[in-house]
Amino acid sequence: MSTHLNHVVVTGASGDIGAAVVAACLERGAEVLAQYRTRKDRLSDINVRTGNLIPVQLDLTEPGAPRALAESIPLHWTGVDLLVNSVGGARPTRFADITDDEWHACRRLNVDVPFFVLRELLKPLEKAGGSVVNLSSVAALTGGSFGPHYAANKAAVIGLTRSAARSLGPQGIRVNCVAPGPVASAMTESLDPHTLDALVSATALHRIVHPTEVATTILNLATSPAITGQTLVIDGGRFLH
């Protein structure tokens, strides 16, 4: 199993956590295939060495897009050492206000995309003895403040992680998950200020998490050869277990 990060694929790379992961991998000298849908400027702002960042614009919820991502892997790569499924998110919505379309869109983005991307990258991951880190949320464990659509689908990501770890372990592929709490991001900025204050007050550290802290944890999981099938909560001590 590879503990080296030479070739990395990050989905949702222009998001707050995704961009932090891209920057951390580049700092380690990795080549990074960075999928984004919008906001390429977030990637352009990262100070990178020439040739190490490969931005790919795709909407991964579109049919065929996960395969197109796999086909974008450079021919000189010998495999994929790390896949970070960072794509995801939701709009805060009350239970009774969630529409059918919003429910299904949340599932496509947060569950379908990680599954289909992982399925398309199985061969290069196996070739490198690579690792996968999926992005869930502490909302999967607490119910969260964004609504049942987000909590339910992020819980499904944990189930997907465990099943994939058990199924793919014999192929030398490790699969883990991180479940951040309130992170300094566009998502937390969309919360009502009183709701956000309540979330922060409920943490043991009385602060929100920075995206770079999540990125560091992801890379630690990716380079720990005996860890698979685990979900690591990163929330400043709100959900204690």
SS3 of 125, please?
A: helix
CB 130 within 8 A of CB 82: yes
Catalytic-role residue among 135, 141, 150, 221: 150
Cα–Cα distance, 190 to 182 (Å, whole number) = 11
SS3 content of the chain, % helix, strand, coil (to 5): 45, 15, 40
Rounded to a whole number, what is the distance in angstroms from the first to the last CA of the chain? 29
E strand spans, the chain: 7-11, 31-36, 53-57, 82-85, 131-135, 174-180, 231-234
Could you tell me the two tokens for 165?
Answer: 């770890």
* 150 has catalytic annotation: yes
SS3 of 43, please?
A: helix
E strand spans, 80-169: 82-85, 131-135
Could you tell me the two tokens for 162?
Answer: 């465990």
Cα–Cα distance, 215 to 218 (Å, whole number) = 5
Main-chain dihedrals φ then ψ at residue 139, nearest 5 degrees: -60, -25
Catalytic center residues: 150
